[in-house]
Amino acid sequence: MRIKRGVTTRAKHKRILDAAKGFYGRRKNTIRIAKQAVEKAGQYAYRDRKVNKRNFRALWIQRINATVREEGLTYSQFMNGVKLVGLELDRKVMADLAMNQPESFTAIIGQVKAALEAKAA
């Protein structure tokens, strides 16, 4: 008795073509090309999830730096002071404070300045 695989093959093809929905030209309806396109799209998606995190961290650092420089510190001095004070806030939270609650972030900068002066003395 022979084995017929039409159902499984069609299911596989359908899964790939569904993933290729919205692609241009033969990439959306020719299985061989769609398979390559979907595979490449997955590689880009995986890579860019990491890049996205990198970009956001850079944005947070820029926001913190801009706010801190208005108070007469650099970003690196500020982060050193944060370590001295023992603050457990990450850059995401500090950037959010700098943007949305400047008065509370200014208080943090005051603490950091005091810690830096105490270390220098």
C-beta separation of 105 from 94 below 8 A: yes
pLDDT band at 1 (very low <50, low <70, confident <90, very high): confident
73-78's contacts with Cβ under 8 Å and 24+ in sequence apart are 73/109, 73/112, 73/113, 73/116, 77/116, 78/109, 78/112
Find how far residue 115's CA is from the centre of its chain. 31
- For residue 96, the one-letter residue type is D
User: What is the length of the chain?
Assistant: 121
Question: 3-class DSSP state for residue 73?
Answer: coil
Q: What letter does residue 72 receive in the DSSP assignment?
A: T
Mean pLDDT to the nearest integer, 31-50: 98
Q: Is residue 1 part of a domain?
A: no
User: Tell me: the pLDDT tens digits for 49-84?
Assistant: 999 999 999 999 999 999 999 999 999 999 999 999
Q: Is residue 67 part of a domain?
A: yes
Q: What's the pTM value of the predicted model, to 2 decimals?
A: 0.80
| CATH code of residue 108 | 1.10.1900.20
Q: Is residue 79 part of a domain?
A: yes
Structural domains in the chain (count)? 1
Structure tokens, 95: 């950037």
Structural domain for 92, as ranges? 7-120
Q: Is residue 2 part of a domain?
A: no
